[in-house]
Amino acid sequence: MADLLEARGITVRFDGVTALDAVDLALAPGEIVGMIGPNGAGKTTLVNVLSGFQRPTAGTVALLGADATTWSPDALARAGVARTFQAVRAFPALTALENVEAAAVSAARSRRGARALARELLDRMGLAGWADRPASALPHADERRLGIARALALRPRFLLLDEPAAGMGEAEGDELVAALVALRDRDGIGLLVVEHDVRLVMALCERIQVLDHGRTLAVGTPAEIRADAAVRTAYLGAATGDARGS
């Protein structure tokens, strides 16, 4: 299909170590796909490949039918692929509003249009009350939502979220789930969610892909992933009962 963001046979090697081994992934507009797996499984490496921060050793990245394997992060962002990072890269001295506005301006919006969009996105992410506070003053959960708002300012077709709920409590995670579902429902953005919080992934995602040692171990609905014996052995284990993986 021409409207997908796809990884096709992606292999990444670092000094003889295989981080990814022939991994496929497809993300459609309006779809929420989760990616789980133990530390070192290759999840962030795949996000780096899809967003242009890592060149694969083998395989291709396709965006809307075009070969985007060698595109830079800026080129992919202009074409509709945005991402967040495990460490939020906010400008601490700027306000929350200015942080999002700066991202919107970088996407070729006028200053007035960028400010209006920034206010809209802060409101949608539950951050309107923090608009005029410096980013450095935001609590951890709000800082992570600010990172999502900044990525949304690029008006992406596809948004790749690398551990968006890291450090959040259960109630904060539930609020994030609601915000992301509302985002998908309103804008039709395709979301790829890399996350260790299994409970959140099961609640949010329609399809889940499990990586283990750089390979795809399973792909399926939340119910199928919960029932998969290989997944339970390799990763979920007690997490199916206590809601979090390692």
CB 231 within 8 A of CB 218: yes
And the tokens for 80?
């509709």
Q: What is the pLDDT of residues 159-212, one digit of tens each?
A: 999 999 988 999 999 999 999 999 999 999 999 999 989 999 999 999 999 999
**H or E, element range at 113:** helix 111-124
62 backbone dihedrals φ, ψ, rounded to 5°: -120, 135
Greater pLDDT, 29 or 246: 29
CA distance 108 to 112: 12
Asked if the model's pLDDT at residue 243 lies above 50, the reply is no
Asked if the model's pLDDT at residue 238 lies above 50, the reply is no
Collect all residues with Cβ–Cβ distance below 8 Å to 190 and sequence separation of at least 6: 5, 27, 28, 29, 30, 31, 32, 33, 157, 158, 159
Reference 90, options 156, 134, 152, 153; nearest CA is 134
And the tokens for 213?
């040692």
Find the range with the poorest average confidence among 37-51, 97-111, 132-146, 209-223. Answer: 97-111
Question: Full-prediction pTM beyond 0.75?
Answer: yes
Collect all residues with Cβ–Cβ distance below 8 Å to 90 and sequence separation of at least 6: 99, 135, 136, 138, 143, 146, 147, 150
What are the residue boundaries of the structural domains of the chain, listed by start? 92-155
Query: How many CA within 13 A on the CB side of residue 167?
Result: 11
Reference 35, options 172, 168, 176, 204; nearest CA is 204
Instruction: Report pLDDT for 236.
Output: 62
User: Would you give the DSSP letter of residue 15?
Assistant: T
Q: What is the pLDDT of residues 21-66, one digit of tens each?
A: 999 999 999 999 999 998 889 999 999 999 999 999 999 999 999 9
Asked if the model's pLDDT at residue 237 lies above 90, the reply is no
